[in-house]
Amino acid sequence: MNGTDKSVAFLVAKEGIEQVELTDPWQAVRDAGATPRLISPEPGTVQAYHHLTPADAFPVDQVAAEADATEFAALVLPGGVPNGDLLRWQEPARDFLRRFLDTGRPVAVICHGGWILIDVDAVRGRRITSWPSMATDYRNAGADWADEPLIVDNAGSFTLISSRKPDDLPAFCEELVRQLDKV
């Protein structure tokens, strides 16, 4: 993959996505010359939020069950409490994530987006950050959780980029783009 040939998957649930945690990385991917693609377990549109207030709706590019994980240079898991919680129990989303993890390509997760990583046992032995309320969940899943703006963990079969919250988005987006340059 090179430059304009790269696509980045953004895996989200039907609703509850923290909008800025979707749109800022999306724009960073575009600005880097790659193509962001919205993947969801269900077709149609997904509903983003500004914390608890409904914001914009976004069209789904492809349903998770039909998406070919090998077509993507990276995967982004945006936050939002409802998004993270809904995504983790949807088998098509978990299956897509497992297929993507098998590619060995970078995964970038922010805020509550990582609950699905716990459900597919992808954080054991990894260093990660998130919204602080998830610390116990990560530690119980075998991760080394830390309260830092950005953590890049290269210890496993894929690079894991993680951040805590919207304030961390500049560093998160910069690292995502840096990792895209390596793929």
The CATH code belonging to domain 3-182 is: 3.40.50.880
Considering 50, 51, 111, 173, which one is annotated as catalytic? 111
User: pLDDT-derived band of residue 3, with 50, 70 and 90 as boundaries?
Assistant: very low
Pick from 115, 116, 156: nearest CA to 137: 115
Tell me the per-residue pLDDT of 10-47, one tens digit each, with 9 for 90 and over: 999 999 999 999 999 999 999 999 999 999 999 999 99
Tell me the per-residue pLDDT of 90-116, one tens digit each, with 9 for 90 and over: 999 999 999 999 999 999 999 999 999
Alpha-carbon span 22 to 36, nearest angstrom:
10
Q: How many CB atoms lie within 10 A of CB 134?
A: 24
Considering 50, 51, 112, 173, which one is annotated as catalytic? 112
Q: Is 111 a catalytic residue?
A: yes
Alpha-carbon span 139 to 9, nearest angstrom:
27
User: Three-state SS for 114?
Assistant: coil
**Beta-carbon contacts of residue 134 (< 8 Å; ≥ 6 apart):** 112, 114, 115, 145
Q: What is the pLDDT of residue 176?
A: 98
> Domains of the chain: which residue ranges?
3-182
Q: For residues 162-182, give the mean pLDDT.
A: 97
